[in-house]
Amino acid sequence: MSQSSLILYSDANFFSPYVMSAFVALTEKGIPFELETVSLADAENLKETYSALSLTRRVPTLTNGTFVLSESSAIDEYVEELFPAPTFPAIYPADPENRAKAREVQAWLRSDLMPIRQERSTEVVFAGAKYPPLSATGQQAAEKLYAAAERLLGDKEHLFGEWSIADVDLALMLNRLRLNGDAMPEILAAYAEAQWQRPAVQEWLALSAK
């Protein structure tokens, strides 16, 4: 297998939190990969070329030679198994229970908290957009997020002691609110800001800023 055969397909604006997760996973591993863009605004993901490639017709999609995989958490797990520690840096906790919890966090953030995603798009995070105060439903979702994040984090720097890809995913959701100026527990705001300084995250932010 040639590492250089990896291609990650991204939205053209680099605003997708899911592409960001896969990008950070690959970057943290130190794996060479190519980055190709798909214009969602022009519905390129629904056109014949991309539809023939991606099962879901969404981003991210990762190709490794003839193997094609979509959905960011699946890509994260695939990359972890294909390029395992200690040869490559770990992106999931080594402890089986902590690893399962990291996957729980990832799955939860992708399937719940819809009011936050609707009222605080990633344009807040990547383009500096500002939105009106949260609706009552949005505030309830924010409080649910804060309670879970505080419970998971405790007084730790990272969710599971050492950094994992789940930290980036959680920080992204928190930053939808923090960067809009929404009230947030200080410990969570500091955590989200610190995660945003990670070099792999900064590489992504540089792409979205172009």
**Domains recognised in the chain with CATH numbers:** 6-89 (3.40.30.10), 96-198 (1.20.1050.10)
Residue 1 pLDDT > 50, yes or no?
no
Whether the Cβ atoms of residue 6 and residue 62 lie closer than 8 Å to each other: yes
Give tens-digit pLDDT for 78-117.
Answer: 999 999 999 999 999 999 999 999 999 999 999 999 999 9
Buried b / exposed e along 160-187 (16+ C-beta atoms within 10 A): beebbbbbbbbbbbbbbbbbbebebeee
Q: pLDDT above 70 covers what percent of the chain? A: 98
- For strands 34-38 and 6-11, give the pairing: parallel
**pLDDT-derived band of residue 4, with 50, 70 and 90 as boundaries?**
low
Surface-to-core class of residue 119, CB atoms within 10 Å of its CB (0-12 exposed, 13-18 middle, 19+ buried): buried
Provide the whole-model pTM.
0.93
